[in-house]
């Protein structure tokens, strides 16, 4: 069996921490190198190698790939939807250049695999709202969505032209308790748990009827690993796979939280994130992922809420 050496870029972020820990379990602690611009997340400390690195510095990234004998890269560094709207040029620059740096190095160093996540944010107001299919009208209106859609086609291009085995998932909003979210429109679905526990009330920045596609982090980590472990011959989508877990509104998650904290109350004060949420589909059709590599989610809203409270 070929020995893999995996570099996770953006390892101190919401997904990075849990994905790094899961990959270390599979490949051995020493073979998964965590890296980030910011300091090492406390949960990663002592579990394996950590390198402080800016993915925009291509020379340094290339040097690390050679020095560490890297065979796979998971690129998680990005600016998410809400933060992206505050600084569109910075979001475009980081989200695009980081991917191009990684794909170029993957080509030069003949890396075995690259993972790069896309998002439901590729879809826009003209995409179907319900059960949004893999292939449909895709006209994103946020800079984040534009960067993800462009990125998907760069992945496809490097695969077609240079044979890079790059794989991708369009994650829904991800809900987790281990590491904090990084500036997305779906972050309310995490904040709500923390304020429910601390203050028994929450002021939501989205309207009560804003349905969005969501997923619990254990499902997202498993989906990522299952996609990356799948036989290359089963991967028919080289842009990015639709992926679905659950779909709910702020009103529905609040009702579920009330079952655990009966005196919890929610109020609504929609802000600049409402139009972002309104531009996205409310639910996703991921039939292709199910067919190609056997995807199936574990967590629905009630079980996710129960598990969050068990762990927070
Ligand atoms: P996050 O913001 O929590 O983490 C990103 C990490 O990248 C941070 O730790 C940050 O310090 C690091 N980073 C930023 N700039 C960097 C640079 N120049 N060099 C090195 N590291 C840098 O984000 P996340 O939620 O973990 O998202 C990871 C990926 O998944 C992103 O591509 C995001 O678009 C995608 N995604 C996330 C969600 C979600 O709900 N969390 C949903 C869809 C897609
Ligand atoms: N959770 C992400 C966001 O809201 C979706 O990519 O930005």
Regarding the beta carbon of 186 and ligand 1, being less than 6 Å apart is answered yes
Q: Phi, psi at residue 282, to the nearest 5°?
A: -90, -25
Q: What is the mean pLDDT of residues 106-134?
A: 98
> Do both 237 and 250 map to the same domain?
no
Alpha helices, DSSP H, located in 45-115? 58-67, 81-86, 88-108
Model confidence band, residue 82 (pLDDT cutoffs 50, 70, 90): very high
Which pLDDT belongs to residue 145? 98
Asked if 246 contacts 299 with a C-beta cutoff of 8 angstroms, the reply is yes
- For the stretch 26-43, pLDDT in tens is 999 999 999 999 999 999
Query: Distance from CA of residue 176 to its chain's centroid?
Result: 11
Q: How far apart are CA 266 and CA 251, in angstroms?
A: 8
Regarding the beta carbon of 56 and ligand 1, being less than 6 Å apart is answered yes
Q: What is the mean pLDDT of residues 152-169?
A: 98
- Mutate which of 7, 8, 15, 22 for ligand 1 pocket (most atoms within 8 A of beta carbon): 15
State the CATH number of the domain containing residue 105.
3.40.50.720
Regarding the beta carbon of 184 and ligand 2, being less than 6 Å apart is answered yes
Ligand 2: centre distance to CA 32 (Å):
26
Regarding the beta carbon of 245 and ligand 2, being less than 6 Å apart is answered no
- For the stretch 274-301, pLDDT in tens is 999 999 999 999 999 999 999 999 999 9
**Which atom of ligand 1 lies nearest, measured to the CA of 173?**
40
Average pLDDT, the chain: 98
Model confidence band, residue 226 (pLDDT cutoffs 50, 70, 90): very high
> Do both 161 and 272 map to the same domain?
no
> Do both 252 and 144 map to the same domain?
no
Residue bearing the CA closest to ligand 2, atom 5: 173
Regarding the beta carbon of 10 and ligand 1, being less than 6 Å apart is answered yes
90 has a pLDDT exceeding 90: yes
> Do both 118 and 200 map to the same domain?
no
Number of domains in the chain: 2
Which pLDDT belongs to residue 1? 58
Regarding the beta carbon of 55 and ligand 1, being less than 6 Å apart is answered yes
> Do both 134 and 273 map to the same domain?
no
**Which atom of ligand 1 lies nearest, measured to the CA of 182?**
2
What the block records as the tokens of 231 is: 């036989």
**Catalytic residue status for 144:** yes
Model confidence band, residue 249 (pLDDT cutoffs 50, 70, 90): very high
Q: How far apart are CA 132 and CA 287, in angstroms?
A: 10
Asked if 280 contacts 210 with a C-beta cutoff of 8 angstroms, the reply is no
- For the stretch 176-193, pLDDT in tens is 999 899 999 999 999 999
> Do both 95 and 133 map to the same domain?
yes
Given 50, 74, 115, 144, the catalytic residue: 144
Please give the model's pTM, rounded to 2 decimal places: 0.98
> Do both 169 and 78 map to the same domain?
yes
Residue bearing the CA closest to ligand 2, atom 6: 119
Q: In what order do the strands lie in the sheet with 50-52?
A: 50-52, 32-36, 6-9, 72-75, 113-115, 166-167
Task: Give, as one character, the DSSP assignment of residue 206.
Answer: S
- For the stretch 5-15, pLDDT in tens is 999 999 999 99
Q: How far apart are CA 55 and CA 97, in angstroms?
A: 9
Domain hosting residue 54, numbered range: 6-173+217-242
Q: In what order do the strands lie in the sheet with 173-175?
A: 173-175, 212-216, 246-248
Q: How far apart are CA 166 and CA 23, in angstroms?
A: 17
Q: What is the mean pLDDT of residues 204-214?
A: 98
Q: Choose among 309, 294, 178, 296: nearest CA to 246.
A: 296
Asked if 168 contacts 175 with a C-beta cutoff of 8 angstroms, the reply is no
Which pLDDT belongs to residue 106? 98
Say what percent of the chain tops pLDDT 90. Answer: 98
Q: What is the mean pLDDT of residues 65-85?
A: 98
Q: What is the mean pLDDT of residues 85-106?
A: 98
> Do both 118 and 155 map to the same domain?
yes
Model confidence band, residue 214 (pLDDT cutoffs 50, 70, 90): very high
Q: Is residue 150 part of a domain?
A: yes
Regarding the beta carbon of 217 and ligand 1, being less than 6 Å apart is answered no
Q: Is residue 1 part of a domain?
A: no
Which pLDDT belongs to residue 204? 98
CB atoms within 10 A of CB 269: 10
Residue bearing the CA closest to ligand 2, atom 1: 173
> Do both 29 and 151 map to the same domain?
yes
- Mutate which of 11, 21, 36 for ligand 1 pocket (most atoms within 8 A of beta carbon): 36
Regarding the beta carbon of 18 and ligand 1, being less than 6 Å apart is answered no
- Mutate which of 56, 77, 93, 214 for ligand 1 pocket (most atoms within 8 A of beta carbon): 77
What the block records as the tokens of 170 is: 């369009």
Alpha helices, DSSP H, located in the chain? 14-27, 58-67, 81-86, 88-108, 143-162, 188-199, 217-229, 250-258, 273-278, 287-293, 301-311
State the CATH number of the domain containing residue 200.
3.90.25.10
Say what percent of the chain tops pLDDT 70. Answer: 99
Q: How far apart are CA 173 and CA 179, in angstroms?
A: 14
262 has a pLDDT exceeding 80: yes
- For the stretch 41-61, pLDDT in tens is 999 999 999 999 999 999 999
> Do both 44 and 124 map to the same domain?
yes
């Amino acid at each position: 069996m070929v020995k893999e050496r995996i570099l996770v870029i953006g390892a101190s972020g919401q997904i990075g921490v849990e994905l790094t820990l899961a990959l270390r379990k599979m490949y051995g602690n020493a073979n998964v190198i965590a890296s980030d611009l910011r300091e090492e997340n406390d949960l990663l400390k002592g579990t394996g190698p950590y390198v402080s690195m800016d993915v925009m510095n291509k020379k340094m990234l290339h040097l690390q790939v050679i020095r560490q004998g890297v065979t796979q890269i998971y690129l998680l560094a990005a600016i998410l939807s809400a933060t992206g709207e505050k600084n569109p040029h910075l979001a475009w620059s980081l989200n695009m250049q980081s991917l191009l740096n990684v794909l170029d190095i993957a080509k030069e160093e003949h890396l075995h695999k690259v993972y790069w996540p896309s998002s439901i944010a590729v879809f826009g107001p003209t995409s179907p709202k319900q059960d949004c299919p893999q292939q449909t009208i895709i006209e994103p209106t946020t800079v984040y969505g534009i960067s993800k859609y462009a990125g998907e086609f760069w992945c496809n291009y490097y695969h077609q032209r240079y044979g890079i085995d790059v794989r991708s998932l369009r994650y829904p909003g991800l809900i987790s308790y281990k590491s904090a979210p990084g500036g997305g429109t779906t972050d309310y679905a995490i904040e709500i748990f923390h304020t429910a526990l601390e203050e028994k009330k929450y002021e939501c920045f989205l309207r009560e009827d804003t349905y969005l596609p969501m997923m619990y982090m254990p499902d997202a980590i498993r989906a990522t690993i299952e996609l990356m472990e799948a036989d290359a011959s089963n991967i028919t989508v080289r842009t990015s796979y639709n992926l679905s877990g659950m779909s709910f509104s702020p009103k529905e998650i609040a009702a579920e939280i009330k079952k655990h904290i009966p005196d919890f109350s929610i109020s609504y004060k929609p802000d600049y994130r409402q139009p972002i949420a309104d531009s996205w589909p409310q639910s996703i059709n991921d039939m292709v992922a199910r067919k190609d590599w056997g995807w199936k989610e574990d967590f629905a809203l009630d079980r996710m809420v129960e598990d969050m409270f068990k762990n927070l």
